[in-house]
Copies of this chain bind each other. A is one copy, B any other.
Amino acid sequence: MEIDKSQKILVVGLGLIGGSYAQALSDQGYEVGAITKEASDLQFALSRGMIRHGHTQVDGDYVGGFDVVIFALYPHVFLQWLKDYQHLLKPGALLTDVTGVKVPVVYPVQQMLRPDVEFIAAHPMAGRECCGVVNADKAIFNDANYIVVPTAANRQEAVEWCKSLGRVLGFKRISVLSAEEHDQMIAFLSQLTHCIAISLMTCNNSHHLKDYTGDSFRDLTRIAKINEEMWSELFLLNKEELLRQMDIFIDKFMLLRNDLAAENVTEIKNMMRQSTANRAYFDQ
């Protein structure tokens, strides 16, 4: 089963990612509607042709008209939305999301969901330092990875459908992971990197740093500009995995620190050679 243009698509939550989904799908010729809290966001999306219509309130007749619903909400808002409004969904509707953690989202959602609709989870690995629909830009998907996260409750057709959605959105690489694999991987690749950037950026509060910095510090702290509401929620939802990854990092960092203190040049060089070799896979 592939996504096709007979399927009417509802985006719930017009932020950076929801807006970029809406833009990409509308530009491909899909009929896209939206429900979002702020009238100004709706107005912006309408004026830019990202959506054909929309509401700021949840309207039963409106929600029931969509074959596909994409949730681009904070995790706790997403769960609450389903509790309050899942009875409004069209029978047979396919639901998907963009949430950055999966175990604490996909299992509760599938457990509470009506049996006549299906939720297939996905994570678009794309973002920007600036948020909101006014910064939406489908181009952020072009060089990015898209991960479909099925469980035993999903039909294979739904997995294929979700992969085709990733292709239509323009993602470069589409993968499939279990919720557990996803959360472990995301703790390392994304949440740990944000913890590092936050820590580094708060080590020194001088305003003069930028006069002396090279590219390396700028690169390592780009993501230190962070939406604290969203990221603190994601960190806590994936607490155990993130703590595990933070501890692995601390061990490696302390190894380097102690080799430096002891002037173990051979060990320091070995670690640098290993990091150079590992990094080379990213340049292929």
Interface residues of A (CB under 8 A from B): 125-127, 144-145, 147, 173, 175, 177, 185-186, 188-190, 192-205, 207, 209-226, 228-229, 231-232, 235-236, 239, 242-243, 245-250, 252-257, 260-261, 263, 265, 268-269, 271-276, 278-284
C-alpha spacing A62/B204, complex, angstroms: 47
Residues of B within 8 A of A268 (CB): 228, 232, 235
Known: A190-B214, A199-B252. 11 other contacts (CB 8 A): A126-B214, A177-B212, A188-B203, A189-B217, A193-B219, A202-B271, A219-B223, A220-B220, A228-B276, A235-B268, A250-B250
Which of B127, B144, B261, B273 is the one whose CB lies under 8 Å from A243? B261
Identical copies in the complex: 2
Contact A224 B254 (CB under 8 A): no
Minimum Cβ distance to chain B for residue A146 (Å):
10
Name the contact of A246 in the complex, choosing from B147, B248, B253, B276 (C-beta under 8 A).
Answer: B253
Residues of B within 8 A of A242 (CB): 260
Q: Are B271 and A213 in contact (CB under 8 A)?
A: no
| CA A221 to CA B249, docked complex, whole Å | 13
Known A189-B212, A195-B253: A220·B217 in contact at CB below 8 Å: no
Task: Specify which of B145, B188, B205, B222 is in contact with A211 (CB 8 Å cutoff).
Answer: B145
Q: Chain B residues with Cβ under 8 A from A220's Cβ?
A: 193, 196-197, 219-220, 223
Q: Name the CB-closest residue of B to A276.
A: B225
Residues of B within 8 A of A210 (CB): 281-282, 284
User: Does A198 lie within 8 Å of B275, measured CB to CB?
Assistant: yes
CA distance A21 to B207 in the complex (A): 30
Given A204-B188, A228-B269, A256 and B195 contact (CB-CB distance below 8 Å): yes
Q: What is the minimal beta-carbon distance from A278 to any residue of chain B, in angstroms? A: 5
The smallest beta-carbon distance between A186 and chain B, in angstroms, is 8
B219:A236 contact, CB within 8 angstroms: no
- List of 4 A-B pairs having minimum Cβ-Cβ separation, nearest first: A228-B272, A201-B275, A125-B214, A199-B252
CB distance from A156 to the nearest CB of B (A): 21
